[in-house]
Amino acid sequence: MNNIVKEIAGNTLRRYLFIALVASLAVTGGMFAYAYTTSTTTITATGTADFADIGAYYSPPSYSIFGHYRGALPSGYLFSINLTSGYPGDVAVNVYLDNIDQLGKNYGLWLMRLELVQASDDASMDIEGDITRPISLNNGVVSFVSDNMSPGTEYRVRCDGGVYKAFPWAYINSVGGTVNPSFTAEVLQAQ
């Protein structure tokens, strides 16, 4: 055993360092402690299993970029949202741009302005008021929160237009000169 310590420790300086390391581990080893607590709770959901129906209202057109360097994105409705009659709470609506990587190969700039509106009069339903939110290659998700949506009333996610700027080589890389954005929307309970 003595030979093993001599081999590990080597010269006197290494022995002192080895002894100091072992001593520091022995002293501080008992100072580290951990604790945890547990708690349980029961959550009761009200309403039906599906508190909202969401559907594609409008399919975005194919954007032909063959021969076009920059241009405007059309306005229109993307999704329709209907709360079920049993849901009393606030909602959050998230819209995702699914194919940022594909769009990024062809566009240096791609930006759309979205808004959550009531179908009957296009009044803004966002808790922050009448604002449009940008969805772009740099920001692939837009979130809305509403505290005044009524069950049985139709609401929509509206595109207020946008802009794009294609790379000069975009028409070579794209299939048939078109690039289609792909969107996904979800409705969440916000209360």
Q: Based on the fold, state whether residues 16 and 107 are members of the same structural domain.
A: no
Question: Residue 94's pLDDT is what?
Answer: 93
Q: Based on the fold, state whether residues 9 and 57 are members of the same structural domain.
A: no
Q: Based on the fold, state whether residues 77 and 6 are members of the same structural domain.
A: no
Q: Based on the fold, state whether residues 98 and 137 are members of the same structural domain.
A: yes
The model carries a pTM of: 0.67
Q: Based on the fold, state whether residues 68 and 11 are members of the same structural domain.
A: no
- Give the mean pLDDT of 94-122: 89
Q: Got the DSSP string for 84-149?
A: -TT--S-EEEEEEETTHHHHHHHEEEEEEEEEEEETTT--B--TT-S--EEEESS--EEEEEES-P
Q: Is residue 58 part of a domain?
A: yes
Q: Based on the fold, state whether residues 27 and 101 are members of the same structural domain.
A: no
Tell me the average pLDDT of the chain: 77
Task: Compute the residue count for the chain.
Answer: 191
> Which pLDDT band holds residue 140 (cuts at 50, 70, 90)?
very high
Alpha-carbon span 163 to 156, nearest angstrom: 21
User: 27-62 pLDDT, tens per residue?
Assistant: 666 555 555 566 676 656 555 567 788 888 765 555
Q: Based on the fold, state whether residues 13 and 84 are members of the same structural domain.
A: no
Question: Residue 135's pLDDT is what?
Answer: 94
Structural domain boundaries enclosing 80: 52-189
